[in-house]
Structure 1
Amino acid sequence: MPSLDICFTPELLPLYDLRGRVAVVVDILRATSSMVTAFAAGVTHIVPVSELDDCRRLGLEQGHLTAAERDGRQAEGFDLGNSPFGYLDGVVAVRGRAVAITTTNGTTAIHRSLSADAVILGAFLNLEAVAAFLRRTGKDAVVVCAGWKGKFNLEDTVFGGALAELLQADFDVTSSDATLAAHHLWQQAKPDLAGYLLQSSHVRRLNSLEANQDMEFCVQLNEYNLVPIWHDGRLVVAEK
């Protein structure tokens, strides 16, 4: 039986051997939620980069839309920030376009996970689709929580617990203390996920930026039946 483990922050990844495993990178607020939404809105592929200059260059040289966020705010001079509504509100036409993106936490977590056999993106928005992908693959999996600047956060860990609950009939979700802890958090959170996450430091940070609608959107369950996957240096939608 394959196993599901959870890495609470990318800073702990040196303690995990990702080879032969599927890495499920999750940044609920907001990078992976926004990228899942971007694909649902018709984006062709996404190139996650670490630096603002790299993002800007892809826009200038290859015609990508540029999305950049630092400390929760849209970086100046870029087409989009890190809000899922940027792909839905029609202000920027995204269908049929490629996007270069850099964020404070999510894009770093993606790049640090590339030693895995496969790297996919998870969010509450595509929770069931991620579980179905892992069942089809049948490989050990590690949820890589993006956290906040190297530290633990609540919402990414709760996602790991929700995924563990969905997979408990098909995966070993009891051998890892991290997975057990995340599952317990999910059991507390699931009756009122949005209400539970109001205590999260990142939610308070978004509220201070008047981005509380983003949180409400990002905690919706199973809005999209798609899984972004790393392929040839970019993210695309995985085949079903």
Structure 2
Amino acid sequence: MANNKPTLYTSLSPALLHLYDLRNAVVVIIDVFRATSTIASALHNGAQCVIPVDEVAKAIALSKHVNGIAAGERDGKIADGLEHGNSPLEYSPEFIKGRTLVLTTTNGTKLLQMALDNEADTIITGSFPNLSAVCDYLVKENKNVVLGCAGWKDRYNLEDTLFAGAVISRIKEHFTIHCDSSLTAEMQYNTVKDDLHAFAPNLTHYHRLVDRFGLIEDIRFCMTPDIANVLPLYKEGMLLAQ
């Protein structure tokens, strides 16, 4: 009997994304610490949309054009020339509701641009705060999936891989998965899933954010499933809550 299930692959680094066929797939952009967690937070709290851009200058210029909020980071801190950063806690309903967030980050927004450049059919963003929304959408769409981990400057990182593993553990019965990176992601997630918060201090990016900038509350938010459970879908240059 033929297997008509769509396929699922995991790209563990932006440097590997070009190896996957994105043209007929849903690409999930994963940058747990912190871009895709911040996108989920902003949209969950009522942002009209999030416009991801890959350069600070673009964020500043575009925010002026659309009367939006220019925000983002480089190397974990608010980027020079911007007033707002990449913290999911910064975008409360009182601040962000009805407004446009123009966001640029070290890894996540750059990966999204790479997916566009590689002709991705559909792009969504995912992180633990919107885990269920991502899984529900992927099952409903019944299309090929590429889970794209943003990593850190093309290097592997574990938190993005753990999120990929969390998605795979929930939806694998709906997909054909012959992909060692996906197998690795699920195995790693299964070893720590019972207490993600306790595991977080082992992560390199945790120390980059907490030891240098004291962002422990950001980390807690980013590792909490379904705390901002919206589905950000990329359409015509914008991420919109579905």
Coarse TM-score class (shorter-chain normalised): over 0.9
Q: 1:106 aligns with which of 105, 108, 122?
A: 108
Query: Unaligned 5+ residue runs, structure 1?
Result: none
Contact conserved, 2:44 with 2:241, CA < 8 A, in 1? no
Q: Percent identity?
A: 37
Secondary structure at the counterpart of residue 169 of structure 1: helix
Offset at residue 118 of structure 1 (A): 0.3
Offset at residue 46 of structure 1 (A): 1.2
* Structure 2 residue 65 is the aligned partner of structure 1 residue 71: no
| Counterpart for residue 221 of structure 1 | 225
Secondary structure at the counterpart of residue 46 of structure 1: strand
Offset at residue 231 of structure 1 (A): 0.3
| Counterpart for residue 184 of structure 1 | 187
Work out the CA distance in 2 between the residues paired with 1:155 and 1:172: 24
Q: 2:16 aligns with which of 6, 12, 20?
A: 12
Work out the CA distance in 1 between the residues paired with 2:45 and 2:228: 10
| Counterpart for residue 207 of structure 1 | 210
| Counterpart for residue 37 of structure 2 | 33
Deviation digits for residues 177-222 of structure 1, max 9, x if unmatched? Answer: 0000000000011011122221111001111211111111110011
* Structure 2 residue 151 is the aligned partner of structure 1 residue 147: yes
Contact conserved, 1:27 with 1:145, CA < 8 A, in 2? yes
Work out the CA distance in 1 between the residues paired with 2:223 and 2:176: 25
Query: Unaligned 5+ residue runs, structure 2?
Result: none
Work out the CA distance in 2 between the residues paired with 1:144 and 1:230: 15
Work out the CA distance in 2 between the residues paired with 1:58 and 1:196: 38
What TM-score does the superposition give when structure 1 sets the normalisation length? Answer: 0.95
After TM superposition, list the pairs within 5 Å mapping 1:139-178 onto structure 2.
Answer: 139-173=143-177, 175-178=178-181
What one-letter code is carried by the residue in structure 2 that aligns with 1:164? I
Offset at residue 88 of structure 1 (A): 2.0
**Higher helix proportion (structure 1 or 2):** 2
Secondary structure at the counterpart of residue 198 of structure 1: helix
| Counterpart for residue 231 of structure 1 | 235
Offset at residue 89 of structure 1 (A): 7.9
| Counterpart for residue 97 of structure 1 | 99
Offset at residue 76 of structure 1 (A): 3.6
* Structure 2 residue 89 is the aligned partner of structure 1 residue 57: no
